[in-house]
Structure 1
Amino acid sequence: MRERTMNLLKLNIVVLIEKYKKVTDVARELQLKQPTVTFHMKSLEEELGVPLFHSRKGRIVLTEAGRALYPYAQKMLSLHNEALRTMEEYKGMGRGTLRVGAEPAVQSLMMPVIADFLKRHPGIRIEVQVEPEQKLKALLMVEEIDAAIIEERAALELPLAFERWNEDEVVLICAADHPWVLLEELDPGQAGQERFVRHAPGSQLDRIGQAWADQHAINLWSPLTAASPEGVCRAVRAGAGVAFFSRKALAGNEANEGGGIRMLKVPGLEDPRLQLGAAYRKEGSPASLINEFVHFLRTCAQI
């Protein structure tokens, strides 16, 4: 079967012939020479195997087959123009979907920023996926998310770009009536004797807690694991144990309403700072959306 290449130029000629009824006017509209327009008209008729144009009293009109083709030509040209407009909107940040991953301990800090970004770009959609740090890094590498809000030290383990956005601090939390509250200073040995409520394996705070325990040769006793920061807070408040947490995340956690949880410095932790930001692939797609989001984080950085 012979290949048919009914391209947009030929379809446009069909539409313009119906409009002007003269090849010279069509050629002027398309900024082509008249013989070129005539060539494409004959070429289209040969491809489709039917006459499409008919000369009548000095005018060119569509045949019955041409009139049948005409509405399809209009629709295809309209779809083409709509597609071009849509792509221009993407280029100009008018449309698009951005997939952002967030660590559980970071999501409460991140949501107000995402809300502000959407106010600036109302045509953009953002899909937020809350997962532990290790899974977010894996999702980034296989391009299932476009950016991940994680801690800088974790991002540097992979060939990713990183934009700092916020700084937090790792703390220990306990119930308001816990004996630790009465201590002037806590040492690693004392801390190691407590029950710990563990964060989701692979999460940022779980990684930091395990590294701290390894540093001080402590075998953390963790009979309870909670998948979310809210779950960790509720367990700590109920007296199920103590936990590693971040200062800012605790301040915004609904589970701590009424102040039933106390914060303490982590003894023996060399650098309690958490440098939070967006990890992303520089060559990632959609590049314009990612770059705009990263730029927005830069403008509202809290470091």
Structure 2
Amino acid sequence: MHLQAKGQVNAQQLAEHCQVSLRTIYRDMDALSGAGIPLYSERGAEGGYRLLGNHRTQLNGLSADEAQGLFMLGLSGQAAELGLGGVVAEAQLKLLAALPTGQRDSLAKMSDRFLLDAPGWFGEAETLPALVPLAEAVRRQRRLWLRYRSWKSQRERELCPLGLVQKGGQWYLVGQVGADIRTYRVSRILDFKVLATGFERPQDFNLAQYWQQSRQRLEQESYPDQALLRLSAQGHKLLRALFSPYQLARSQAQGEPDAQGWQQVSLPMGSVWHMASELARLGAEVEVLAPAALRKQLADTASKVLALYRPKDS
């Protein structure tokens, strides 16, 4: 398949690609030739191995849509959400049919042993009627008009849809507006229209790279400050169970636990109000040492809760 894709490759390149020795490459090439694969080898600095004529490995007539759907193999749930369930199923059948019997049985066993369940625990799957037509607009490169509910207000946008990303069970649309590339949560799209006009994708745009950079930027912007806490042993357990992996990975213990098991820990935090709400779940197993505004906010919250539950005079 590597020769078929590259045209001509020398033995050293094949050895590096397959992570084997040159001796293994020479042996395998002899074996392929003996099996009837029309290989041609040419000596010299510009030489290498190539397939003769129009020899190709066939997959029993994959359609263009089925070929595009191959990237979703093993992601049947996501494929169905995007309207590609049937296409992926057909592509999988044709791929299986092209394999030798032993490999076909092995692949079937693998599919029974591994499962991707993307949404988090206790979360209901979103019903997103817009997802299939949005996916079609991404595939066909058609511009979109949409009305979107942000945190502050409703807004209208015309954009070029560059991709769809599923993160934590939520779908996000990545679109270009002018020179900017932005992210929209699909569940917040109130209305949309697929326009007749097409667009050209930016040649240097890479969806995976954009998403990684966007995610890292969001995490950094969401937790710009540090809180200094004093936690009991139980507080440590609650912290690990209730706080985000991003915060936990960047938490730092200060010194050793005291005789009662309490220990100082620094932890990334966002807004004072949000952090106080999160820490309230730890009850009396945490004390805020800094910043002062967070300590005051948590104390005010505790006072209000105490007043709410204080026995009332009859």
Please give the range of the TM-score, normalised by the shorter of the 2 chains: under 0.3
Alignment TM-score, normalising by the size of structure 1: 0.23
Higher relative contact order by CA 8 Å / sep ≥ 6: 1 or 2? 1
Alignment TM-score, normalising by the size of structure 2: 0.22
Radius of gyration: which is bigger? 1
